[in-house]
Copies of this chain bind each other. A is one copy, B any other.
Amino acid sequence: MAQPRQDGVDGAAAAGSHPLWFIPPAGQETQRRVLTRERVVAEALAIIAENGVDALSMRALATRLGVVAGALYRHVRNKEQLHDLVLDGVLAEVDARTEKLAPWTEQIRVLTHRLRAVLEEHPGIAGLLKTRDPLGPHSLALAEAFLAPLHEAGLPPRQAGLAYSLIYGYTLGFAVEGRSSVNEQRVCDAATRAQLHAFIRALPSDRFPTLVALGEHVWVDNRDERFATGLDTILRGLETTRPTAGDGAT
């Protein structure tokens, strides 16, 4: 495994220590300086991308880094701070640049889809984001990217702020529903969906008339369509916004 030691030069190297000229073969543990905060966060992101946020435990993370669990606390105060760092890392993956020439609705649409794509690549992250108001640089950059088109669209300040909250919250909320696999009754494949539709059709139509009539269209597993049409509805609502009293033109 390890190449044979040739420490006859000074001969004084104690067992277990490396002679000065010995350079560990590129990434072997020198026992010293194994971890970095960046390495920790990067590996945490990898775990989440592979197995979801529930699989991120301090022990699993430490094991993947070739270290015991307690060692992580030299680089991260606790798991909550690790979550904060991870969130900033995820938001950094969202490209917040926009084409300033495009219509504002199109800019919003592009940003929103990029945000959703990144969130769904890291299952469970959206749920964490919902419980925080991250103020890291990447979060702020994203907010700026959303606010600029809304401002440019002529929305008064307060309504622009509320519109940003609405759109951002909508995207997060949508991403929360993603792959969760908690319920056996989830609408995942066509077979279960057909079963679900049959179940709905079989409901007593005197108590659930509309549900029986429209049931087929309520639980649609086409997430892309649901996301796009929901966003369209919100944007249409924003386009018909009238300035309200108390906004005060700046």
Contact = CB atoms under 8 A, between A and B. Distances in A.
Binding site of A, secondary structure by majority: helix, strand, loop or mixed?
A: helix
Given A135-B185, A161-B214, A170-B173, A144 B234 contact: no
Interface residues of A, number: 67
Given A165-B226, A183-B133, A151 B233 contact: no
B163 A211 contact: no
A88 to B, nearest CB: 13
Q: Which of A163, A176, A187 has the most CB of B within 10 A?
A: A176
Interface stretch (A58-66, A111-119, A237-245): A237-245
Contacts of A1: none
Interface string A144-174: 1001100100000111111111100110111
A193 to B, nearest CB: 11
B236 A162 contact: no
Contact of A133 (B140, B185, B229, B237): B185
